[in-house]
Structures are given as structure tokens and as C-alpha cells.
Amino acid sequence: MINEKPAATTPQQLEHFQGLALKRNVRLFTASQTRYGRRMTKTKALLPSIGQIYQVDLTRTLAVSDLGYGWRACKASAGGGVLGDLGWHTLDNLIEFNLINERSEILQFEPLITHPKGGYDCEDTCYLTLRNTASEGSLQPVIVYATISRVGKSKANRCTFRGRHGTLTVEDDDAILQFFDERGAARISFESESRDDMLSMFKSSNDLLQGHGGEVNYEKYLEQDRTVTGLISRIYASRDASPSITQWPVITAATQNAVVEQLQKTISVYSNDGIVGQLEERWKSVHGQPEWHALLHNSGTNALHGLFASARLKRGDEVSHPAIVFHTVALH
């Protein structure tokens, strides 16, 4: 039996379903087709090349014309909104990559209803920040920033992994590897289709039905469903309230506390101390280049001045820039 995701609306409900299936000698699967697709398998194979991963930025969106249609628009039927739908695939993939788990810390969850009169009662968009502090052997925690929405201008699936040796950006069916050393950059095409993901899911399910892979792999499959369901349940519980009507910017308690704390501290650009120095050092660390120079500026125009000076540009030198750009770039 292949069940549409989410596998269940609560961990207790999933445990009940899996127990019933076990008693009746039925194999229970969840329609997590991206778990088996070419994009997933190739991404998983590429990740070790960028070293220890410390940050993930991802955006997953759909352009849904009728947000109030179907079970996805009903909290009672779906257990939630876009987090339990698109978010299921997103979290399932990150768990498969061993970047998050059921113990990951929930730093931010902001569910939004962007169309208050749309006739639905669950979030169509959410902003999520997770930090994995339980990963053994990690040099530092992995932090995940996710934007998941059903109101995008178009369908988009983009994820950037930042590691000690480089970055991997996967967008739709293409991947770009950018290394910090002489290896430079490389582009890889996955050439996958959603149909291929479905076929891979059916094949994997059939293999387990036929006994290939054994009980261990099937139990791992069930355990991953429990992990995803449990994490989604914890995320919803972390914000036990109705989705907000669109508010921007998203200001969390952590942001407010940081601002209040900073009011009691000095800021000095000249001495490279305090939060200024921390940001400059963090910037170098994020790029894995501690020997680089990092200098904070108070505006983009000021930063351009610093760029021109450091590059020792002089009158008459050619500077290329996009055709559509902020006017000061061209003026300088």
C-alpha cells in the first residue's frame, strides 16, 4: 500500500497505521518519490566533495492557482499546510542527507496565510530555520534556512549546500559545484523527470515487496517516515497558533533579544572589535578563507568605492556589469 504524504497527521497516528499494517502482513509505503529520484541520488553522491557541510539554504515553491482546493487546503484533513506537503519532501531529503534528524533544534517557524480570503485555514507559505546540534563528528552545527510556498510565481526547487571545501547549488535538474581551491567550478546535469522519480519509487517499493533488501531496509524506510512525521509535528507544536496574516519582515524573539543586547555594547569600525569584527571574521570563516581580508561598509556604494580602490582601478579601465543594475554602479 502506497499512502499519499504526509504519512500521517501525527506520530501517534502513523504508529497506529504501521502497527495495523504489521498485523495484517501489509507493506506500507509513503509517496516520497523524491527519496528515490535521480536528483536525490546524484546530490547525495556529490555532497562529500564539498567537505563538512555547515549551512543549507533552500527554496521550494509551486504556483497554485486555487489555494483553497483539495485536502491540502484543510488543516483537519492534512494536519497542516505547505509544511506537511512540500515540506515533507524537503525534510525527507535533508534527513536522507543526514543533515537533520528528529532532534534538530527549531530556531524559527513562521507559517503564513498570504490570501486571508482564500477559503483555506492552513499556511500556504512558511519560513523555517533548523539547527542540527546532534550530528556526531560535526565541526560545527548544520543550520538550515528554508522557504516553502504554494504561492510562487513559478515552480522552483533550489538548494545551496555550503561546505568546508566549496558549495553545491542544485536547481531543478542542474547542479553547480564551486570549490575554494584550484578545481574551480563545474556544472552537472541530472536530466531527470518527475515521472522517473515515480518509477524509481515504485521499483524500490516492489523490490522490498519481493524481499530484495530485506527487513532492515524496510524498517529503515518506516523509521524515516516516523522521523519526518515527528519532526513536522514538533515544528507545528513550536508555534502553537494560527498562521500569521502576511507580515514582513519576520522578527523573531531571538532578533529582538540580539538588538536589545547590542544597545549595551559599543561598535567600532576602526578597531575591528565587537559585532563588526565578529561579522568580518565570520564572513571569512563562512567562505573557508581565514587569510582573506573582510571590511564592513555602511552601504553598497561605499563597498563599491572599497572594491575599486582594492582592485586599483584607474580612469579608462573597463568595468563590466549587468545591463539592469543600480545606477551608482554605472556612474562610478
CATH code, 129:
3.30.360.10
Same-domain status, 152 and 301: no
Query: Does residue 139 surpass a pLDDT of 50?
Result: no
Domain-ending residue, one of 194, 212, 245: 245
Query: Could you read off the pLDDT of 255-282 as tens digits, one per residue?
Result: 888 888 888 887 776 777 788 888 888 8
pLDDT of residue 169: 94
Tally of domains within the chain: 2
144 close to 58: Cβ distance less than 8 angstroms? yes
pLDDT of residue 181: 84
Same-domain status, 305 and 167: no
Percentage, residues of the chain above pLDDT 90: 23
Of 92-96, 137-141, 142-146, minimum mean pLDDT range: 137-141
Same-domain status, 265 and 281: yes
**Which grid coordinates are listed for 22?**
504489521
Same-domain status, 29 and 92: yes
Average confidence (pLDDT) over 170-187: 87
Average confidence (pLDDT) over 120-138: 78
Same-domain status, 239 and 295: no
Domain-ending residue, one of 245, 269, 287: 245
- Cβ neighbourhood burial of 307 (10 Å; 0-12, 13-18, 19+): middle
Same-domain status, 155 and 281: no
Domain that holds residue 281: 253-331
Same-domain status, 265 and 213: no
Same-domain status, 140 and 272: no
pLDDT of residue 138: 47
Percentage, residues of the chain above pLDDT 70: 86
Residue holding cell 581551491? 181
Same-domain status, 168 and 97: yes
pLDDT of residue 154: 85
Q: What's the pTM value of the predicted model, to 2 decimals?
A: 0.67
**Which grid coordinates are listed for 326?**
543600480
Pick the residue with more confidence: 173 or 66? 66
Domain-ending residue, one of 245, 262, 286: 245
Same-domain status, 268 and 231: no
Alpha helices in the chain (DSSP H): 11-23, 38-46, 75-78, 82-96, 194-209, 214-238, 253-262, 274-286, 300-310, 327-331
Same-domain status, 39 and 131: yes
Same-domain status, 141 and 17: yes
Give the phi and the psi of residue 171 in degrees, each rounded to 5: -135, 115
Confidence of residue 60 (pLDDT cuts 50, 70, 90): very high
